[in-house]
């Protein structure tokens, strides 16, 4: 089985504290980076508050993917047309590897709660999300990747499982999937399902990218905080995914308690070693090969 | 139970997250378990919303928070979001209407509103401080004669702030702010920002420059201010060195 997407090897969610490592070159441990779309998007009134100078410098050294948090693909009141126009403009300027966002809604009736809110898994929601994804793909002229989110609530009127919902949406809109392995683990813990059932239920050839991240244990539930190293159960799931899915680009996200580059790099190298131990032809990250 | 339309569900869940108190009716849509109850599940979203918004605004307005105290500041943020829910894609944009809200909400002779306005100006300037700006090198290369006749403008990334209060000087939490007419320009400097105090004629000059004027024209406009052309030329030299003005 082959993925519909190119395998670029190991990447990282690039945050400002690590920009310096990418401004005059590129660490050998990384083949590509992902940046948060909204950090570079022009403001609603057209103001360009976040200059692209830094991003343009970085992309001379390493390919960049755009990862958004505010497309609100699940919003029943429709997409924000202004956001879509600005995304299109940014994509023209940055020429990203690909564009991704989340299987969620962030607001309704024009408001934004700035959170990745879970959807009820209903036929109506499948139709709404699929239509919104199709509109985005039409507007920007490329297929996007849609990421499963960590969730803390499921709804009584859901008619299907999350992985069935994501499968149906991806087929109907012909989008790709950004598989966040940590999010699968967090949601499985919070809702009591088997993460392998989830991972076995997805259309594997549609997965174009993998996210790894850390979470926090709040007693009765897990929270997707991105403030800790990737946990051992998530590494186990990543190994399973690597063994059972086609080889695709994978990366680590860290948004709080961001460690020194060397520490983050050791996690990236672990991910690379797992990939290369399973996929002989996986792109080699030079530093990892030298270890 | 009847399946709600997606839009009705989303409106209801949004209320569950943003309302001051969570009502029992709003929990009906959520599945719970022994170890993680319905209300605990919704509370995760309610807590995250409140924490995220307060953190974003506290980052942009640290002195307003320090002056008001944590709890009053947090309550002010929540009132602000009730009055002006975010319609913005980026969290960095939600602060833009906050100074006006603070000015209308916190009645302390306008100090807190002006302080918020000043802090927002520093945020805006810091955000663009590493942008490549054009028009400075060519300004430096102009001969004195050319400077007189070439239209020069205020760098659009600078922010002019005027207040009846000394908003520039930091004060201890709870201390009484000093009343003093303050005019400053916040400008990009060394990938951050810097602040320069302005006299009234300088303030007027920089306001004229918002539209782009020649040095000769500026001298003419400032004739009533009792400022000599030599003085204006001196300001110009400082402003062009600091990239406050450009072609």
Rounded mean pLDDT of B69-97? 94
Count other C-beta atoms under 10 Å from residue B193's C-beta. 21
Find where tokens 């105090």 sit: B197
Query: Which residues 10-29 in chain B show a CB within 8 A of chain A?
Result: 10-11, 13-14, 17-18, 28-29
Beta strands in chain A (DSSP E): 10-13, 32-36, 64-67, 99-102, 145-147, 176-180, 207-212, 216-217, 222-223, 249-252
Q: Does A38 touch chain B (CB under 8 A)?
A: yes
Burial of B176 by CB count in 10 Å (0-12 exposed, 13-18 middle, 19+ buried)?
exposed
Q: Number of A to B CB contacts under 8 A, please give it.
A: 130
* Tokens at B165, concatenated: 């209060």
The mean pLDDT value of chain B amounts to 89
- Please state which of the ranges A80-84, B15-19, B24-28, B237-241 shows the lowest mean pLDDT: B24-28
Instruction: Dihedral sign for Cα A44, A46, A50, A53, please.
Output: positive
Task: Say if the Cβ atoms of A50 and B92 lie within 8 Å.
Answer: yes
Reply yes or no on whether the pLDDT at A57 is more than 50.
yes
**So what's the pLDDT on residue B136?**
63
B-chain residues within 8 Å CB-CB of A111? 14, 85-87
pLDDT: which is higher, B132 or A168: A168
What is the SS3 assignment for B145? helix
In angstroms, the Cα distances linking B213 to B48, B147, B151, B188 are 50, 11, 5, 22
The mean pLDDT value of chain A amounts to 93
A-chain residues within 8 Å CB-CB of B48? 115
Name the strands in the sheet holding B192-197, side by side, starting at the edge strand that comes first in the sequence: B159-165, B179-189, B192-197
Rounded mean pLDDT of B10-38? 91
In angstroms, the Cα distances linking A231 to A207, A226, A270, A290 are 22, 11, 12, 25
pLDDT: which is higher, B133 or A204: A204
Q: Cα angle vertex B33, ends B27, B39, to 5°?
A: 30
Strands B153-154 and A216-217: unpaired
- Please state which of the ranges A54-58, A71-75, A287-291, B159-163 shows the lowest mean pLDDT: A287-291
Task: Say if the Cβ atoms of A117 and B89 lie within 8 Å.
Answer: no
Query: Among residues A77, A59, A64, A66, which one has the least CA distance to residue A102?
Result: A66
Beta-carbon-side half-sphere exposure of residue B238 (alpha carbons within 13 Å) = 12
Rounded mean pLDDT of B53-72? 96
Q: What percent of chain B has pLDDT over 70?
A: 94
Rounded mean pLDDT of A7-33? 94
**So what's the pLDDT on residue B143?**
80
pLDDT band of A229, cuts 50, 70, 90: very high
Q: How far apart are CA B228 and CA A120, in angstroms?
A: 71
- Please state which of the ranges A170-184, B78-92, B100-114 shows the lowest mean pLDDT: B100-114
Q: Does A108 touch chain B (CB under 8 A)?
A: yes
Query: Which residues 185-224 in chain B show a CB within 8 A of chain A?
Result: none
ipTM: 0.93
SS (H, E, C) B9-63: HHHHHHHHHHCCCCCHHHHCCECCCCCCCHHHHHHHHHHHHHHHHHHHHHHHCHH
Task: Say if the Cβ atoms of A111 and B14 lie within 8 Å.
Answer: yes
A-chain residues within 8 Å CB-CB of B5? 76, 124
Task: Say if the Cβ atoms of B87 and A110 lie within 8 Å.
Answer: yes
Q: Does A124 touch chain B (CB under 8 A)?
A: yes
| First-to-final CA distance of chain A | 30
User: Which residue of B lies nearest to A221 if distances are taken between CA atoms?
Assistant: B36
Query: Which residues 216-275 in chain A show a CB within 8 A of chain B?
Result: 220-221, 223
**So what's the pLDDT on residue A2?**
67
Rounded mean pLDDT of B83-97? 93
Q: Does A162 touch chain B (CB under 8 A)?
A: no
Query: Among residues A87, A32, A37, A38, which one has the least CA distance to residue A58?
Result: A32
User: B211 to chain A nearest CA, in Å?
Assistant: 18
Reply yes or no on whether the pLDDT at A32 is more than 60.
yes
pLDDT band of B210, cuts 50, 70, 90: confident
The answer to whether A145 and A179 are in contact (CB under 8 A) is: no
The answer to whether B132 and B167 are in contact (CB under 8 A) is: no
**So what's the pLDDT on residue B226?**
83
Q: How far apart are CA A31 and CA A161, in angstroms?
A: 34
Phi then psi dihedrals of residue B227, to 5 deg: -120, 135
Find where tokens 């008001």 sit: B68
Reply yes or no on whether the pLDDT at A50 is more than 90.
no
- Please state which of the ranges A162-176, B133-147, B158-172 shows the lowest mean pLDDT: B133-147
Reply yes or no on whether the pLDDT at B120 is more than 50.
yes
| First-to-final CA distance of chain B | 67
Query: Among residues A72, A102, A191, A121, which one has the least CA distance to residue B6?
Result: A121
Reply yes or no on whether the pLDDT at A6 is more than 80.
yes
The answer to whether B180 and B194 are in contact (CB under 8 A) is: no
- Of B1, B49, B89, nearest to A70 by CB-CB distance is B89
Q: How far apart are CA A36 and CA B46, in angstroms?
A: 24
The answer to whether B170 and B63 are in contact (CB under 8 A) is: yes
Reply yes or no on whether the pLDDT at A291 is more than 50.
no
Query: Which residues 188-217 in chain A show a CB within 8 A of chain B?
Result: 190-192
């Amino acid at each position: 089985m082959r993925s519909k997407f190119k395998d670029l090897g190991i990447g990282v969610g690039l945050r400002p504290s690590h920009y310096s490592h990418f401004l005059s070159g590129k660490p050998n441990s990384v083949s590509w980076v992902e940046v948060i779309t909204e950090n570079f998007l022009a403001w609603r009134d057209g103001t360009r508050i976040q200059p692209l100078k830094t991003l343009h410098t970085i992309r001379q050294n390493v390919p960049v993917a755009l990862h958004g948090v505010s497309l609100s693909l699940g919003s029943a009141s429709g997409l924000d047309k202004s956001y879509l126009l600005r995304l299109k403009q940014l994509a023209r300027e940055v020429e990203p590897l690909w564009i991704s966002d989340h299987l969620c809604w962030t607001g309704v009736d024009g408001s934004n709660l700035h959170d990745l809110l879970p959807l009820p898994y209903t036929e109506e929601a499948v139709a709404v999300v699929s239509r919104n994804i199709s509109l985005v793909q039409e507007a920007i002229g490329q297929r996007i990747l849609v990421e499963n989110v960590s969730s803390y609530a499921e709804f009584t009127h859901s008619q299907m499982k999350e992985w069935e919902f994501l499968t149906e949406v991806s087929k109907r809109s012909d989008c790709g999937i950004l598989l966040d392995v940590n999010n699968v683990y967090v949601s499985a813990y919070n809702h009591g399902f088997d993460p392998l059932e989830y991972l076995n239920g997805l259309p594997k050839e549609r997965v174009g990218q993998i996210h790894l991240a850390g979470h926090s244990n709040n007693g009765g539930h897990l929270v997707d905080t991105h403030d800790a190293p990737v946990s051992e159960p998530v590494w186990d799931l990543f190994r399973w995914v690597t063994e059972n899915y086609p080889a695709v680009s994978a990366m680590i996200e860290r948004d709080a308690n961001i460690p020194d580059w060397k520490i983050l790099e050791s996690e990236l190298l672990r991910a690379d070693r797992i990939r290369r131990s399973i996929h002989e032809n996986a792109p080699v990250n030079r530093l990892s090969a030298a270890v | 139970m009847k399946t709600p339309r997606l839009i009705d569900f989303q409106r209801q869940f949004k209320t569950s997250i943003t309302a001051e108190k969570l009502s029992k009716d709003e929990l009906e849509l959520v599945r719970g378990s022994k170890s993680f109850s319905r209300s605990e599940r919704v509370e995760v979203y309610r807590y995250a919303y409140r924490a995220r918004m307060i953190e974003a605004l506290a980052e942009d307005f640290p002195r307003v928070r320090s002056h008001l105290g944590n709890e009053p500041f947090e309550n002010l943020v929540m009132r602000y979001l009730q009055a002006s829910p975010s319609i913005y894609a980026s969290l960095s944009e939600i602060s833009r209407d906050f100074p006006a809200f603070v000015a209308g909400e916190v009645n302390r002779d306008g100090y807190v509103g002006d302080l918020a306005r000043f802090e927002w100006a520093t945020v805006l300037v810091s955000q663009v401080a590493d942008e490549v700006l054009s028009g400075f090198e060519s300004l430096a290369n102009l001969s004195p004669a050319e400077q007189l006749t070439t239209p020069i403008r205020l760098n659009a990334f600078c922010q002019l702030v005027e207040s009846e209060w000394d908003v520039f000087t930091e004060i201890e939490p709870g201390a009484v702010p000093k009343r003093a007419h303050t005019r400053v320009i916040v400008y990009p400097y060394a990938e951050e920002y810097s602040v320069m105090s302005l006299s009234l004629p300088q303030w007027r000059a920089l306001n004229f420059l918002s539209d782009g004027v020649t040095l000769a024209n500026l001298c003419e406009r400032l004739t009533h201010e009792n400022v000599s052309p030599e003085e204006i030329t001196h300001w110009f030299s400082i402003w062009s060195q600091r990239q406050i003005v450009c072609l």
